[in-house]
Amino acid sequence: MNETLTCSFLDIDLDQTIDTHAANFATCVLNSIFSLITITGNFIILNAIWKNRELHSPSFVLLFFLALSDLLVGLICQPSFVAFKIAELRRDFSCYCISRMIQSISGWTTTGASLLTLSAVSLDRLLSLTLHLRYNTIVTVPRAFGACVFLWFFVVTVMMLRFTMTNWIILPLIILLTTFLVTALSTLKIFMIVRRHLCQIKQLQRNLNTSQTETVQVLKCRKSVVTVLYVYGLFWIFYVPFCVTMLMDSAEGYTLTVKIVYDYVGTIVFLNSFFNPIVYCWRIREIRNALDEEEKTASVVLCILCALFAITAISGNGIVLFIIWKTQELHSPSFILLFCLAMSDLLVGLVGQPSFVAYKIAESLESFSAYCNLRLIQFFCGWISSSVSFITVSGISVDRLLALHLHLRYKSIITVRRVITAIIIVWLVCSLATTLKLWVQNWIIIAIIGKLSAITTTAFCTGKIFRIARGHERQITGQNNIVTGCSIRTKDINIRACKKSATTVIYVFSWMLMFYLPFLVVMAMEMIKGDEKVVKIAYDKETITASILTCIFNAVFSLITSTGNFIILRVIWKTQELHSPSFMLLLCLSASDLLVGLICQPFYVAYQISELSDNYGAYCILRMTQNISSWTTAGVSLLILSCVSVDRLLALTLHLRYRTIVTVHRVLFVACFLWTGCITAVLLKVWIRNWIIIPLVVLLISFLVTAASTFQIVQIVRKHQRQIKQQQRNIQMNTVNALKCRRSAVTALYIYGLFLFFYVPFCSTLFAEALFGYTLKVKIAYDYTTTAVFVNSSLNPFLYCWRIKEIRHAGEKETFASVVLCVLCALLALTAISGNGIVIFVIWSTRELHSPSLVLLLLLAASDFLVGLVGQPFFVAFKIAESLRYFSAYCNLRLIQFFSGWITSGVSFITLSAISVDRLLALILHLRYKNIITVRRVIIAVIVVWLVCSILTILKFWVQNWIIIAVCTNLSAAVVIAFCTGKIFRIARRHERRIKEQNVALTLNPSLAGDFNVRKCKKSAMTVIYIFGLMLMLYIPFLAVMAVEIIKGKTNLVKVAYEWASLIVFINSSVNPVIYCWRMKQIRNGIKRFFGRLICPRIASSCCIQLVGLAAGSERS
């Protein structure tokens, strides 16, 4: 029987379950961390506004109060949230009620103050536009300050009314609605005024001397309004889940699920205060400049973060040490090693991080004697504790391996006293090795050798543990039917325990390596910085184009590479029949390709962006990481391909001895050796000047080995076939084996041929660099050939599925199909959002594109954008809910996906028909077109289209044969498009005939412009046909599945076909932006300008000037 606690303030029962414990613990940890960061960020913003007199304006006073409310969230709301959660876990009724009351009052107060302040900011921006010169006299700093104080007083008063009113929730809802309307109307009015001002300034540019200043002021005001919209949008993103939970609470009651959701959405609400300072620094230049002027800002932030992490390190590791020390059952050798690991982490929090903060403070105060001493203490503490951590993790892995090997002798050999002695020796050795830095010049080599030895030991021991565990599991499974005793079950439990502890070691070690990797990269950069030759290439159109194109390609193919190779790895790992030596080599090949998608391609994109933005510090680190990872994966792939050909040759020559000689364990050992060798060879690049000789030798050897092996395989197979023809009846089994080996050898040749096909251009570029040096053309060639090399990793999984029957059969499972479906849908969602988002932004921000036809195109892109933003994510979500059997969530998600899908598809069909009607009217109406078809009328028509499609979709609840309405609507749109495009082509053809007949007369006739308009309308009609044809082509499978469902009912096959047909429909939203760029010159130019401004503003400005000059020249001509 569960105990319940009831709080009179909120009337909530505190039922404790496993889910509530997990939610309470997770939200407490997150709020504790984010509280400190929220306080730091908002305090820095407040300090910057307070210290700089240039920021003492009414708008910055409002921003000051907004940051103040966020600071109070970190100071009061989040700590009180953590306090009442702890009180709930401890069932402390009085403390729970007090802390919950404080959290509720402070949370509602800061939320209301933020909301009202945001509305005040939008009003302030509107007044600055409408009042002009009177703004400074009417809107002053004291008045803004008084308004903010009044808002806070008003919010606190409304909050206090909660104790007296029963339906108090109506008041915040009224405030929310009022502020939303005020902000929306203010921003809309501002954009209308700004647009009108810009039009007037363009018309009166020559007459007004002050027009340029007024333009700057108008644009500045528009930018500040956009900043308000960003902050307001961020506010709503974090508050919408909380509002939805409130609606769930009012509809379903305060259930256990609603309580857990409240915990998480409350934490999400607090995150808004964490992100706001980032938005201020990003969007408000004055804040950035104020922070840049203070040289100590970065040091202050670094010290604060380090102090926060020191507190968490001390508290967390202190608790672990206390638990191990006090619990007698945990006084075992393995837990003593864990105690040592926690002790080294505690030392980091107690000595390393405080001394880091202290030497940063001494550096800022220019106290160099204290700085040197503190830096020395921090260095010794850091290196000793990190070395002890590495060696201790290796010691834990060795301990787990000995526990499996020694069995009953383990307890007598590995004792607590011996482990403590070993720990003391480790601490002494690490201290002496660190002290050697004072005398040994190349001391860093000792540190690298020590850490590499620890990594190798850990990898070897964990690999050995998993091999032993797998062998034991097979023996237990084989003897399970014969002997069913306690001994086997106990042995199985011990093996599983060792396997689990080895997995824990892998987690800890991987986590450590992930955080130490940037530090090691910086160390490597420091070592080679003196010998580094920095090459700066002058920017021009070709280099920027190459960089942008290769970034886009690598960003897309990175997702495909990661997905495809992850699926291949999962299939081989999960299927027991594929655990053979040849498939293990294929697994290693897929692993190297997966690393290409996870590391090489993202780092390639990152270093290209940093190069274009002139961030050479980041460029060097990113380029080095990409270079090392690329050379390593390429070398591993090349050597494993040679191993595959050798493996196939051994399978033919050894016959029955193959399985005894070539085992899975030996293959994995060879693969680990190849990885180690490749990493070592790549790291030698730092010291060896003519390092390029090593990969060339490896390439030549692997090519010769592969060629000799495949040639030998072909000869053996040919000889076998001759013998089989002579003795057909007796050696039928050998025929199958020979043909199987031949097929696998041909598959290896395909993989190797594909590898060479993509790597030959890169090798040619290497030779070109050796001959001509690192020129501009060589750099561009490197960008393209490196991208081609990465594409090889994307195509390999498709080749495996085509050539290897076992992988195809293993992938024909329902769960596998669902995983592939979800992954592909997620990738298509990213491309649909990014592509259509760029098109929408280009049309919206380019004034020349604000025509009726392009507004309709914007609507089409918006519907495709919603498909990627809503339809596809909800499709993935309902598939996940279906696989997890969450049927209530499944029904809701499926309903949302259904509505969004039908509404957007209906809007797309009707918009395409509207575009075709618009093009026909442009031909028929001639000069009257601009008077009749205006942007405002088109926007009204667009709103009507969205409303009609929404109403027609909602009718499904009441109309039985609703599908007939949908079919009739889409057919009507198709008929309109066919009629309009046919009419356009007939008119265009008639005009062309007239022009051909009067060709001589038209040479001096200005009516030739009519021919240009006709051609333009004809081209736009062709674009409509392309988009509509693509839509029909991708919608036909879906319509066919719907027809089959109506005729035969909803079978399992129809369900699977419906899901794949939906995926094909989603492709349409991703491909449409490509058609816009291909067929529409205005969109292409706008996207070029967008990427130019995004990646390289300096070059973009010069390019824009050139484009403007060219446009002016073309107009004059």
The yes-or-no verdict on residue 6 having pLDDT over 50 is no
Range 522-528 contact pairs with CB under 8 angstroms and sequence separation of 24 or more: 522/621, 523/444, 524/624, 524/686, 525/620, 525/621, 525/624, 527/444, 527/686, 528/686
Query: According to the model, what pLDDT value does residue 100 have?
Result: 84
Q: With pLDDT > 90 as the criterion, what percentage of the chain qualifies?
A: 0
Would you give the distance in Å from CA 973 to the centre of its chain?
Answer: 38
Selected residue with higher pLDDT from 557 and 1104: 557
Same domain, 1062 and 973: yes
Same domain, 140 and 233: yes
Q: Mean of the pLDDT values across residues 769-776?
A: 72
Q: Which of 773, 795, 811 is the last residue of a domain?
A: 811
Token output for 161:
């009314």
In tens, the pLDDT along 331-353 reads 888 888 888 888 888 888 888 87
Token output for 192:
């209308």
Same domain, 662 and 781: yes
Same domain, 54 and 141: yes
Query: According to the model, what pLDDT value does residue 168 have?
Result: 79
- Least reliable range by pLDDT among 351-360, 685-694, 702-711: 685-694
Same domain, 842 and 924: yes
Structural domain tally of the chain?
4
In tens, the pLDDT along 727-760 reads 664 444 455 555 555 666 666 667 767 777 777 7
- Residue 1107 in any domain: the answer is no
In tens, the pLDDT along 794-847 reads 677 767 667 776 666 655 554 556 667 777 777 777 778 888 888 888 888 777
The enclosing domain of 36 has a CATH number of: 1.20.1070.10
Query: According to the model, what pLDDT value does residue 57 have?
Result: 86
Query: According to the model, what pLDDT value does residue 225 have?
Result: 66
- Residue 500 in any domain: the answer is no
- Residue 298 in any domain: the answer is no
Same domain, 554 and 664: yes
Same domain, 762 and 828: no
Residue ranges making up the domain that contains 397: 305-474
The yes-or-no verdict on residue 13 having pLDDT over 50 is no
- Residue 1005 in any domain: the answer is no
User: Rounded to 10 degrees, what is the CA torsion of 151, 155, 158, 163?
Assistant: -150
Q: Mean of the pLDDT values across residues 875-879?
A: 78
Q: Mean of the pLDDT values across residues 545-566?
A: 75
The yes-or-no verdict on residue 35 having pLDDT over 60 is yes
- Residue 156 in any domain: the answer is yes
The count of other CB atoms within 10 Å of the CB of residue 1086 is: 21
Q: Mean of the pLDDT values across residues 211-228?
A: 62
Query: According to the model, what pLDDT value does residue 1097 have?
Result: 47
- Residue 1089 in any domain: the answer is yes
Q: Best-predicted range by mean pLDDT among 61-70, 177-186, 447-456, 489-498? A: 61-70
Same domain, 888 and 936: yes
Give the helix/strand (H/E) hosting 292.
helix 285-293
The yes-or-no verdict on residue 18 having pLDDT over 70 is no
Same domain, 566 and 702: yes
In tens, the pLDDT along 675-695 reads 888 888 887 776 777 777 788
φ/ψ bin of 575: left (φ > 0), alpha (ψ from -120 to 50), beta (otherwise): beta
DSSP 138-175: HS-HHHHHHHHHHHHHHHHHHHHGGGT-SSTTHHHHHH
- Residues β-bridged to residue 13: 6
| Length of the chain as a residue count | 1117
CA atoms within 13 A on the CB side of 565: 26
Q: Which of 811, 839, 856 is the last residue of a domain?
A: 811
The yes-or-no verdict on residue 521 having pLDDT over 80 is no
Q: Which of 283, 313, 339 is the last residue of a domain?
A: 283
Query: According to the model, what pLDDT value does residue 112 have?
Result: 85
Same domain, 763 and 860: no
In tens, the pLDDT along 917-969 reads 888 888 788 778 888 888 888 888 888 888 888 888 888 777 777 777 777 77
210 — pLDDT class (breaks 50, 70, 90): very low
Q: Which residues touch 108 (CB under 8 Å, ≥6 apart)?
A: 155, 159, 162, 172
Selected residue with higher pLDDT from 650 and 5: 650
Query: According to the model, what pLDDT value does residue 3 have?
Result: 35
Q: Mean of the pLDDT values across residues 166-193?
A: 80
Q: At what angle do helices 297-326 and 333-347 cross, to 10 degrees?
A: 160
In tens, the pLDDT along 458-468 reads 878 877 877 77
Query: According to the model, what pLDDT value does residue 14 have?
Result: 44
CA atoms within 13 A on the CB side of 158: 24
Query: According to the model, what pLDDT value does residue 506 have?
Result: 67
Interatomic CA distance for residues 835 and 967, integer angstroms: 29
The DSSP 8-state label assigned to residue 623 in this structure reads H
- The three-state DSSP-derived secondary structure of 573-640 is HHCHHHCCHHHHHHHHHHHHHHHHHHHHHHHHHHHHHHHHCCCHHHHHHHHHHHHHHHHHHHHHHHHH
Same domain, 899 and 826: yes
The yes-or-no verdict on residue 10 having pLDDT over 50 is no
- Residue 1029 in any domain: the answer is yes
The yes-or-no verdict on residue 1101 having pLDDT over 60 is no
Query: According to the model, what pLDDT value does residue 218 have?
Result: 61
Same domain, 81 and 135: yes
In tens, the pLDDT along 1039-1057 reads 777 777 777 666 666 677 7
Query: What angle (nearest 5°) sits at the alpha carbon of residue 344, between those of residues 340 and 345?
Result: 115
Interatomic CA distance for residues 666 and 661, integer angstroms: 9
The yes-or-no verdict on residue 219 having pLDDT over 80 is no
In tens, the pLDDT along 264-298 reads 777 777 777 777 777 777 777 777 676 665 555 55
Q: Shortest CA distance to 591 belongs to which of 674, 496, 482, 683? A: 674
Selected residue with higher pLDDT from 61 and 483: 61
Query: According to the model, what pLDDT value does residue 551 have?
Result: 78
Query: According to the model, what pLDDT value does residue 782 have?
Result: 74
Q: With pLDDT > 70 as the criterion, what percentage of the chain qualifies?
A: 76
- Residue 1111 in any domain: the answer is no
